[in-house]
Amino acid sequence: MATRISKKVMEEVHQWGSMKQHGVTLKYMMEFGSNPTDKNLLLSAQFLHSELPIRIARRSIELENLPCGLSQKPAVLKVRDWYLDSFRDLRSFREIKDMSDEKEFTKIIKAIKVRHDNVVPTMALGVSQLKRTMNANTAIEDHTEIHEFLDRFFLSRIGIRMLIGQHLELHKPNPNPNCVGCIHTKMSPLDVTRNAIEDARAMCYREYGNAPEVTIYGDPDFTFPYVPIHLHHMVFELVKNSLRAVQERFMDDDRVAPPIRIIIADGIEDVTIKISDEGGGIPRSGLPKLFTYLYSTARTNPLLDEDSDLGIANTVTMAGYGHGLPISRLYAKYFGGDLQILSMEGYGTDAYLHLCRLGDSEEPLP
Ligand X SMILES: Nc1ncnc2c1ncn2[C@@H]1O[C@H](COP(=O)(O)OP(=O)(O)O)[C@@H](O)[C@H]1O
Q: Is 95 a catalytic residue?
A: no
Total chain residues near Mg ion (CB under 5 A): 3
Torsion of CA 310, 311, 317, 321, to 10 degrees: 0
Q: How far is the CB of 339 from ligand X (least distance, A)?
A: 11
Question: Which runs of consecutive H residues, i.e. helices, occur in 116-188?
Answer: 119-133, 144-169
For the chain, the distance separating the N- and C-terminal CA atoms, rounded to the nearest angstrom, is 27
Q: Is 323 a catalytic residue?
A: no
Task: For ligand X, give the closer residue by CB, 166 or 328.
Answer: 328
Could you give the string, one character per residue 312-351, with x where binding to Mg ion holds by CB under 5 A and - elsewhere?
-------x----x---------------------------
Q: What are the angstrom distances between the C-alpha of 282 and each of 142, 329, 345, 351?
A: 18, 18, 5, 12
State which residue has the least CB distance to ligand X: 324
Task: For ligand X, give the closer residue by CB, 83 or 321.
Answer: 321
Contact 222, 189 (CB under 8 A): yes
Q: Is 210 a catalytic residue?
A: no
Q: How far is the CB of 241 from ligand X (least distance, A)?
A: 3
Q: How far is the CB of 272 from ligand X (least distance, A)?
A: 17
Q: Is 241 a catalytic residue?
A: yes
Q: How far is the CB of 307 from ligand X (least distance, A)?
A: 19
Q: Which class for 71: exposed (0-12), middle (13-18), buried (19 or more C-beta within 10 A)? A: middle
Q: Which of residues 211-270 bind Mg ion (CB under 5 A)?
A: 241
Q: How far is the CB of 141 from ligand X (least distance, A)?
A: 11
Of residues 49, 147, 241, 301, which has the active-site annotation?
241
Task: For ligand X, give the closer residue by CB, 33 or 320.
Answer: 320
Q: State how far the Cα of 275 lies from the Cα of 262, in Å rounded to an integer.
A: 5
Task: Print burial letters for 24-44: b (CB count within 10 Å at least 16), e (below 16).
Answer: bbbeebbebbeebeeeebbeb
DSSP tag of 216: E
Task: For ligand X, give the closer residue by CB, 60 or 301.
Answer: 301
Task: For Mg ion, give the closer residue by CB, 118 or 317.
Answer: 317
Task: Print burial letters for 278-302: b (CB count within 10 Å at least 16), e (below 16).
Answer: bbbbbeeeeeebbbbbbbbeeeebb
Torsion of CA 86, 90, 93, 97, to 10 degrees: 150
Of residues 64, 195, 233, 314, which has the active-site annotation?
233
Residues that bind ligand X (CB under 6 A): 237, 241-242, 245, 277, 279, 282, 290, 295-298, 319-325, 349
Written as one letter, the residue type at 110 is K
282 binds, among Mg ion, ligand X, none (CB under 5 to 8 A by kind): ligand X
Of residues 62, 141, 237, 363, which has the active-site annotation?
237
> Of 31, 25, 93, nearest to 56 (Cα)?
93
Binding site for Mg ion (CB under 5 A): 241, 319, 324
Which of the residues are catalytic?
233, 237, 240-241
